[in-house]
Amino acid sequence: MVTAVRARKKQAGLTQQEKAAIVFVFPLLFFLTVYWIIPSLSSLYFSLTNYSVVLKTKWVGLENFGRLFEDVLFWRSLKNSAYFTLGNIPLSIASGLLVAMTVNSAIRFRNAFRVIFYLPVVTSSIALSMVWLWLLDPHFGLVNAALGVIGIDPQQWLQSTTQAMPSIVIMSVWGGVGSTMIIYLAGLQGIPDSLYEAAQVDGANRWQSFRYITLPSLQPITLYLLVTSIIGSFQIFGPIYAMTDGGPAFATTTIVHQIYINGFRYFNMGYAAAQSWVLFMILLGLSVANLRLQVYGFVSD
């Protein structure tokens, strides 16, 4: 009887492995709580107030969210964010896959090429933006100089309302292709060579092998990249801030840029917090919809 009671007490307590797990997980949970959970809940509260840092905070309820429907700049920023996302994601995924397949083949200096393509990923986005500001300068930029060699007139690029956003899309694709390349490269190296050998025996050409072996095998990776790219594209800020600051004529202002403007220039923190939560709901909805569509696609296959 005594032995059974002691066994129950021992089972009720934590094992050494469980205690060790708590010790290792606690620092992560602590920083997650302090720097993410608490600020997130605080921003939700501030979105229901007129919090402006310097003035007395007043509860306004859903007034900040109601203002969004009448804010022309908010809808313009939402449109620009969607424009950037629709332009950035297909180009990033396609170019990343193309580069990954290239550096995964038997070419000379492929390790050097992998490093070269990945360097922009580990470089500050502000530093990259400064380089591209010089490249796209309408007067002495290298891009216009190269176009002049083949007889094309100089372009305004970042100073044009129609060319500014495409220019930032191209810069972002160039700066992020290394990250997509690394992920796809890991996926390509995980595909068994026996599949390609069997397809070759059956008479499949390179396109057929790519279509029926490579693409289906990389489908989970493409799903991951699609979801993360949607989140990252809607949160674009660094290049926008450094290269155009939302101009010209608000042609490149995005949701995150508007959040920054309202929060840290106009000190309208309550309204900025409301915009942040609208952005969160948009990203949550897009991610869930994309995941559900992909899951149904896997099931139907």
Residue 6 is predicted with a pLDDT of 54
Residue 12 is predicted with a pLDDT of 57
Whole-number Å distance between alpha carbons of 297 and 222: 13
Report whether pLDDT(11) > 60.
no
- Does residue 269 contact residue 292 with C-beta atoms inside 8 Å? no
Token pair 């397809």 is at which residue? 199
Q: What is the pLDDT of residues 217-245, one digit of tens each?
A: 999 899 889 989 999 999 999 999 999 99
3-state SS, 58-71, equals CECCCHHHHHHCCC
Confidence of residue 299 (pLDDT cuts 50, 70, 90): very low
Q: How far is CA 172 from the centre of its chain?
A: 10
Q: What is the pLDDT of residues 50-92, one digit of tens each?
A: 998 888 889 999 999 999 999 999 999 999 999 999 999 999 9
pTM score, whole prediction: 0.86
Nearest to 40 by CA among 286, 205, 279, 301: 279
Q: What is the pLDDT of residues 79-137, one digit of tens each?
A: 999 999 999 999 999 999 999 999 998 788 888 888 899 999 999 889 999 999 999 99
Q: What is the pLDDT of residues 264-273, one digit of tens each?
A: 999 999 999 9
Q: What is the mean predicted confidence (pLDDT) over 172-186?
A: 94
Residue 96 is predicted with a pLDDT of 94
Considering the chain, what percentage of its residues have pLDDT values greater than 90? 65
CA atoms 195, 197, 203, 205: torsion sign: positive
CB-based contacts of 150, cutoff 8 Å, min separation 6: none
Residue 5 is predicted with a pLDDT of 46
- Does residue 259 contact residue 276 with C-beta atoms inside 8 Å? yes
Q: Indicate the average pLDDT of the chain.
A: 89
Residue 222 is predicted with a pLDDT of 92
Report whether pLDDT(20) > 90.
no
Q: What is the mean predicted confidence (pLDDT) over 17-24?
A: 87
Whole-number Å distance between alpha carbons of 214 and 195: 10
3-state SS, 47-111, equals CCECCCCCCCCCECCCHHHHHHCCCHHHHHHHHHHHHHHHHHHHHHHHHHHHHHHHHHCCCCCHH
HSE at residue 280, side-chain half, CA atoms within 13 A, is 11
Q: What is the mean predicted confidence (pLDDT) over 139-160?
A: 92
Residue 234 is predicted with a pLDDT of 93
